[in-house]
Structure 1
Amino acid sequence: MAASQVQSLLRFLSQDAKVPLATAMGKVNELLKADLTTPEAISKGELKILQGIFKDEKIAKQVLNAAKRASKKRTAPTESTRPSPQKRSKARTQEDVTTPFAIEYALALPDSTATEEELSSIELLTNRAPLVLAFAVCVLRYTMPEQPMSSRLSLAQAIVSANSRSKAVSLGLESGQSAEQEGWGEGQPTISVLGRDIKVLKRWDYNPREGQPAQGPHPSEGNPDDILGQCLPDHSEPAPPLWGIDTEAIRRAHRPDTREKPEIAFPIHTPQSARSYLLKAFMKAQYEVVKEPESSKKRSQTQTEAEREACLGYLLLSIDLVCRSWASTLTKDELDRRTWAWYTRVRPPVRSGAEGWGEKGVVKLSDILALRRQL
């Protein structure tokens, strides 16, 4: 199964069927073996098979009903659009099966080959939250190099969530203690990212290299360690991949007026939502608005998505150059603390007060690159 199909199946399970992502990721292989790779296939399957896979009658019915709803929304394909048996067979080969390896590569973020001179001339339009997310994802590559892409995205999103709530409290938009201050997530391990403590869930049964082809990734797919996490020396105790726990979601789910209870004790910040947020958050700053003809709207939407991806690649490369330049001179703890100071120095200016919260501003990549020379 191709990476895009993996994402589609995970998206269906986690969003349409409301299956916790941690559960969904552990069941994709079994669904594939049962030839239940799409909502249409699942809707035609037997409930007993789903019960055998999920080991829970309620979740099995949940998935089956969601598949039937999703199938009804789709128009039956014609003979000309239906994939050939040869293509279907190829998609089901063991090379393409859904594995942690395939999932991690599906989460890979865009990169860039732009030169420093080209980066220095770029200005991006964004708001503060996705910029925090970008800084956190980048620095985790150096402070927690053993963590795979799924974990870095989840941990970074946990930081953004905690920071956003703190900001809302300071602006008077929210009040009271945070979920962690009230004790939600108590007993779970804590780590520090960008100087802020977050609750995490250890993924002892998850190996991001499971399913890696013998010949390894194609050279064009980048360094495997950047996506799968670095392998520690043999004498070191392996650190498990982590999830960032969504403590606010735990508290919301246990409110007296909430009907739906969580399927797992610790909801997590999903890497897919963090990645999607990043891909939509950055555009080049335009100082002249050019009105496009009506006929080009469909084409411009595709262009816009491509430009947003390219802009994210420019930003991540700029931040990575800064982290890389300091990684050899700072300890991991120092690099983590310094990164928050770097973010505050280059974050887009916005109006003060609640009316300016979430407002977009300009980030100059030349300002980020200058951090390589500043203490």
Structure 2
Amino acid sequence: MASSQVQALLRFLSQDARVPLATAMGKVAELIKADLSTPEIISKGGSKPLQDIFKDDKLAKQVLNASKRVSKKRAAPAETTTAPSHKRSKGSTSVDTGTPFAIERALALPVSNATEEELSTIVLFTNRAPLVLAFALCVLRYTMPEQPISSRLSLAQAVVSANSRSKAVSLGLEFEQPLEEEAWGEGQPTVSVLGRTIKVLRRWDYNPREGQPAQEFPGIDDILGEFPPEHSEPAPPIWGIDVQATKRVHGPLAKERQETLLPIHTPESARSYLVKSFINAPSETTKQSKRSKRRNHAEIEAEKEACAGHLLRAIDLVCRSWASISSKDDLDRRAWAWYVHVRPSIKNGVEGWGEKGAVKLAQILALKRLPDPAAA
């Protein structure tokens, strides 16, 4: 069985059927051996085979009910199965939209072709959390280049979550320890992103290049992750664990923490948050234009995506300028200092724009490493 099918079965057990992750991983092989490899097949097999495999009537019933629920969802409405569509599959009819390759490609971030001169004139409005997300995403491209975009989005969102939690504690809004100091997810490996310790879940047997066609795709290594250097062991893709959700869902007992599924920060929600969080700062002209002409939803969404692309390009130019002379750890430390330097002030709200503040891309570009005077 292909690794993508194993992943799908494991996903069904752990997410749809709510089987503890450790149990699910141990039962996948038995289910495949019993020819119970999909929810549709499981739903038709009855409870007896599942009772033999799981040795637990309650768990077997749980899996069976989940399989019927999932099968029913996939079967209706029937017309959608005959004409499937995918939002981001333009010009890629040869790509199977269910493969890891297609999933990663659908998560590609907005791209800007603006020159530095053009970027320097742009002022965006946003709040602080999505700006943290943008800085984390950009620096991960250089500190963990082997990770696919799905992993980088998940890790970046984990940084936002940890930062927000620590801020709440420092302001006295919460009185518990910061997330990284708590025992949730204990035993899991960790990585450092923007100086935050992030607990991660290794995605064994996940290959982001599975399903990749022979044709060339521009910038695909940035989406799928770079190949590791020759003779080095490839690092598996990882998820950023949603520690707060783990605590909220599974309660305080250590035994429960070890035996239940660890929630993750999903890349889809992180990407959606990023592309909808930046807008052009309003000038008097744009204010008048917006009053006289109500824009449609598509125009607003297109502007937001373009704004996100401009911001990511500006931050990437800064990261790239330092990457050749900085270690990965040093680049990670610098990135947090850059964010602190340019983060918007939201003390004074702007009429009509809520709690957003201004971010000048010229201020970000000024953080680029200056040319060596001796080399001039």
TM range (shorter): 0.7 to 0.9
**1:350 aligned onto 2:346:** yes
1:105 match: 105
Q: Secondary structure at the match of 2:166?
A: helix
Pick the aligned partner of 1:314 from 292, 310, 332: 310
Q: Spell out the pairing of 1:266-305 with structure 2 (5 A cutoff).
A: 266-288=262-284, 289-290=287-288, 292=290, 300-305=296-301
Q: Spell out the pairing of 1:319-330 with structure 2 (5 A cutoff).
A: 319-330=315-326
Instruction: Among all aligned residue pairs of Structure 1 and Structure 2, give the percentage whose two residues are the same amino acid.
Output: 59
State the distance in 1 between where 2:133 and 2:153 align. 8
2:89 match: none
Aligned length: 327
Unaligned runs of 5+ in 2: 1-7, 85-92, 349-353, 372-376
Q: Secondary structure at the match of 2:161?
A: helix
**Counterparts in 2 of 1:60 and 1:303: CA distance versus 1, 3 Å:** farther
Q: Secondary structure at the match of 2:160?
A: helix
Q: Secondary structure at the match of 2:269?
A: helix
1:117 match: 117
Q: What do the CA deviations read for 1:157-212 (whole angstroms, capped 9, x no partner)? A: 11100000011112222111234423111111111111111111111211111111
Amino acid at match of 1:279: V
**Counterparts in 2 of 1:142 and 1:84: CA distance versus 1, 3 Å:** closer
Q: How much is the aligned-residue C-alpha RMSD, in angstroms?
A: 4.1
1:188 match: 188
**Counterparts in 2 of 1:123 and 1:137: CA distance versus 1, 3 Å:** same
Amino acid at match of 1:285: A
Amino acid at match of 2:111: D
Q: Spell out the pairing of 1:1-375 with structure 2 (5 A cutoff).
A: 47-48=43-44, 58-59=62-63, 61-62=65-66, 64-65=68-69, 68=72, 95-217=95-217, 222-255=218-251, 264-288=260-284, 289-290=287-288, 292=290, 300-351=296-347, 359-373=355-369
The 8 Å contact of residues 250 and 260 in structure 2, kept in 1 or not, is answered as: no
TM-score by length of 2: 0.74
Question: How far has the Cα of 1:140 moved from its partner?
Answer: 0.4
**Counterparts in 2 of 1:230 and 1:197: CA distance versus 1, 3 Å:** same
State the distance in 2 between where 1:341 and 1:225 align. 28
Amino acid at match of 1:119: L
Q: What do the CA deviations read for 1:316-356 (whole angstroms, capped 9, x no partner)? A: 0000000001100111110000000000000001229xxxx
State the distance in 2 between where 1:17 and 1:366 align. 47
Whichever of the two has the greater Rg, that structure is 2
The 8 Å contact of residues 109 and 275 in structure 1, kept in 2 or not, is answered as: yes
State the distance in 1 between where 2:260 and 2:174 align. 27
The 8 Å contact of residues 121 and 361 in structure 2, kept in 1 or not, is answered as: yes
1:4 match: none
**Counterparts in 2 of 1:278 and 1:329: CA distance versus 1, 3 Å:** same
State the distance in 2 between where 1:153 and 1:50 align. 39
State the distance in 2 between where 1:201 and 1:242 align. 5
State the distance in 2 between where 1:45 and 1:283 align. 48
Question: How far has the Cα of 1:265 moved from its partner?
Answer: 2.8
Amino acid at match of 1:305: E
State the distance in 1 between where 2:274 and 2:46 align. 34
**Counterparts in 2 of 1:300 and 1:207: CA distance versus 1, 3 Å:** same
Question: How far has the Cα of 1:50 moved from its partner?
Answer: 11
Q: Secondary structure at the match of 2:134?
A: helix
1:88 match: none
**Counterparts in 2 of 1:50 and 1:251: CA distance versus 1, 3 Å:** farther
Unaligned runs of 5+ in 1: 1-8, 37-41, 86-92, 353-357
State the distance in 2 between where 1:366 and 1:327 align. 20
Q: Secondary structure at the match of 1:372?
A: coil
Q: Secondary structure at the match of 1:105?
A: helix
